[in-house]
Structure 1
């Protein structure tokens, strides 16, 4: 075999980076739609509470637990599937399911019905990230992977921003057009129609997703039939401190970031803003601050990796935990609405670090045959703690400790002030083991290149 043949055989995923970047853009579009469908209800707290006669805590269950728990539970078997089957078809099926379930939210007439539909959204969205992480790790090499992850995760903030801006405009229109009459269906509230309109385009996205080329799996060390379900846990037991940092540390970080469910309502309750005003300010901060944070995280971590800072992804996440604590703790307590709005930007910027850095950190050290499952466990812990508890913790303090809806600002501030330092310590304590796991992964890759 010639040297040229050797290079070609060892780098199959690098043949066409143009297509790889295109694929990462399509996956980003899917992530955008997932967050649009997931977070569209965050600016509709008032209308949904009024129409369904529910409390802050019950709304938090819709925003967090109904979605988050089933999102995480289904992520584990879907991560297992991502290590064995064609990932583009797993994602295509997931996009179809969550789009249909989002539309079904528009037909809910009571709390249990909306709760059940939100479970369906979570189940569908669980198919996306484990397979997307695995595909991206096969499309790109280690120095490009963080940048590809940053493109993919831009969808979080683009989707959330669009949801806030669109939701605010529609909710503000409820007073003038509270009901819409449709043939065969009858009267629907405006918030019902939002779900239907947002869910429909996802079906076209599913068609686009089905056209992606499945990347060749890289760094395989065993055959598919030899993959054991417990292999991922055996790997994590070998690096326990690293695993705690990657999974629990990221989950604690996400509790702070997902408490932003209440940010739109915070401006409405504290400063008597309209939903349109609050949606516009929160949406713009998400559309601007989030992508800047993502691009920075992807670029700078890639730069550090090229310089040999092998723990760059985990180290930067730990620094981010300290950085986000300051604006996220102070923001709800600001004495004016525009000072509060100004601190939204750094809060959104630092909240963007975890979705890029932790999945990249996992993909850089985990053997190929367990990458999907490792990604699914990451999503499991983030979902159980972050997606579920992020909305619930502030609501619990507001409803059961302060007994005052207007105390939401204090609930949000207390939540972040406690969790920020705890998150930093949890992330930092795994750095040493992460460096050891990275060295092992480098040796594994080098060995396979020689064998090729």
Structure 2
């Protein structure tokens, strides 16, 4: 049986180029999440313009994107494990960027739904091969921080999507926000095509002499820790995507009057006509920036230290950090004013972000190098189908039920739906704890 010729630590590549690869993939991840998340801050204008219900918003912000990603991510990753990963990433970036811009042309719910499906199809070719590339370039002892660096693109992309999306939508409309979001990816796709290299040698990069797909899938199915990691990742995804899809709606519905007053006071000295959507976008960007970036970086650095001394404790980082976020989230959703709610949402953003580097590093270290893209794609499938696909949809459905069926109204409906979702953190923590007990015996690369 042929083996994939993949050096674990490429010797012919300069340290400067390795850093360039990590930075370039970071920027691609940034664009990835910018285009994925911008619809969250545009949800309220889209709802009013197209006359949508909350369950339809949940479908647009979650399930529509996750549907095609779920069904195409694994096949694309299997191809990536056998061909040139750099070209797959470049082509995927170009495809989803074009369809992000096309979202702005939608005139109906169905048209926007189809455009989001296409964005999901394109983005399914990004993260799995990117994680695999970084893991090939970076030695195991530095992998957690390198993957955390890449994951900062997730956080920074979300930050820019919320902040820039809110400003663009307020000043020019939600359609223009989609047009602007799609443009940078087209340029970056050309840069990646010309400069990003796959470190695998000849036959590995062309697909010759690789293991059959059935052998790769059989290996993954036998590695029990992987399934605990997938389940924990799915739970984290449900919390993250479910809440971010409705945080803007929560602030506008529950604290809209105070935010309107604040935006009016801010408009006068700036001589701009600013609406509350601008403040919400900037506030959510602040939450993502201060909390998410710090948590991702801290989790990665702490993961490197743990990996060098006690590898079996790597997954205790997210196991401990995740439930600590719950009291802050509940307090934020029950806060009497918008500014206190925003301040209380920063600590949970930090704590919830600490899982990224350690979890990605653990997964990439318990599979063979020629299975890394496939393993990452299956993880992304769990996160997106359960997290992004069901998280916003369930929050939206529960919000509608509480608002109309129980009679709480739209503001209280979304508030208590978000509080209910926060409790999933305890499930995620337990899953990480179980996986942590299996990690040391499962390390292979």
TM-score under structure 2 normalisation?
A: 0.88
The structure-2 alpha-carbon separation of the partners of 1:432 and 1:235, relative to structure 1 and needing over 3 Å to count, comes to farther
Q: Could you tell me how far 1:14 is from its partner in structure 2?
A: 7.6
- Contact kept, 8 Å, 1:142 with 1:364, in 2: the verdict is yes
Matched, 1:296 2:280: no
SS state of the match for residue 225, structure 1? coil
Q: Could you tell me how far 1:331 is from its partner in structure 2?
A: 1.8
Matched, 1:415 2:421: yes
- Contact kept, 8 Å, 2:238 with 2:387, in 1: the verdict is yes
Q: Deviations over 1:361-417 (max 9, x none)?
A: 111111111111100000000011111122122111111244231121111011112
- Contact kept, 8 Å, 2:29 with 2:151, in 1: the verdict is yes
- Contact kept, 8 Å, 2:24 with 2:192, in 1: the verdict is yes
Residue correspondences, number: 411
Q: Pick one of 18, 28, 33 that aligns with 2:31.
A: 33
- Contact kept, 8 Å, 2:40 with 2:244, in 1: the verdict is no
Matched, 1:257 2:258: no
Which structure 2 residue ranges, 5 or more long, are not aligned?
1-6, 260-275
Q: Could you tell me how far 1:321 is from its partner in structure 2?
A: 2.1
Q: Pick one of 417, 439, 442 that aligns with 1:437.
A: 442
- Contact kept, 8 Å, 2:165 with 2:177, in 1: the verdict is yes
| Residue of structure 1 equivalent to 2:196 | 212
The structure-2 alpha-carbon separation of the partners of 1:330 and 1:118, relative to structure 1 and needing over 3 Å to count, comes to same
The structure-2 alpha-carbon separation of the partners of 1:14 and 1:341, relative to structure 1 and needing over 3 Å to count, comes to farther
- Contact kept, 8 Å, 1:246 with 1:314, in 2: the verdict is no
Which structure 1 residue ranges, 5 or more long, are not aligned?
1-8, 175-189, 446-452
In terms of mean alpha carbon deviation, does 256-265 or 374-383 score higher? Answer: 256-265
Q: Supply the distance in 2 between the matched residues of 1:269 and 1:228 (Cα, whole angstroms).
A: 53
Q: Supply the distance in 1 between the matched residues of 2:329 and 2:80 (Cα, whole angstroms).
A: 35
Q: Could you tell me how far 1:12 is from its partner in structure 2?
A: 2.6
Q: CA RMSD in A?
A: 1.9
| Residue of structure 1 equivalent to 2:316 | 315
SS state of the match for residue 213, structure 1? coil
- Contact kept, 8 Å, 1:154 with 1:291, in 2: the verdict is yes
- Contact kept, 8 Å, 1:13 with 1:216, in 2: the verdict is no
In terms of mean alpha carbon deviation, does 334-343 or 145-154 score higher? Answer: 334-343
In terms of mean alpha carbon deviation, does 13-22 or 392-401 score higher? Answer: 13-22
The structure-2 alpha-carbon separation of the partners of 1:266 and 1:401, relative to structure 1 and needing over 3 Å to count, comes to closer
Q: Could you tell me how far 1:233 is from its partner in structure 2?
A: 3.5
In terms of mean alpha carbon deviation, does 309-318 or 290-299 score higher? Answer: 309-318
The 5-angstrom pairing of residues 8-407 of structure 1 reads: 11-13=9-11, 15-173=13-171, 190-210=173-193, 211-216=195-200, 224-240=208-224, 242-258=225-241, 259-272=243-256, 273=259, 274-307=276-309, 309-403=310-404, 404-406=409-411, 407=413
Q: Deviations over 1:279-329 (max 9, x none)?
A: 11111121221111111111111011111x113432212112212223223
Q: Deviations over 1:326-365 (max 9, x none)?
A: 3223321122222211122112112222332222111111
TM-score under structure 1 normalisation?
A: 0.87
Q: Supply the distance in 1 between the matched residues of 2:341 and 2:332 (Cα, whole angstroms).
A: 5
Q: Deviations over 1:64-97 (max 9, x none)?
A: 0000121222110111011101111000000000
Q: Supply the distance in 2 between the matched residues of 1:376 and 1:11 (Cα, whole angstroms).
A: 22
Q: Could you tell me how far 1:226 is from its partner in structure 2?
A: 4.2
Q: Could you tell me how far 1:11 is from its partner in structure 2?
A: 4.3
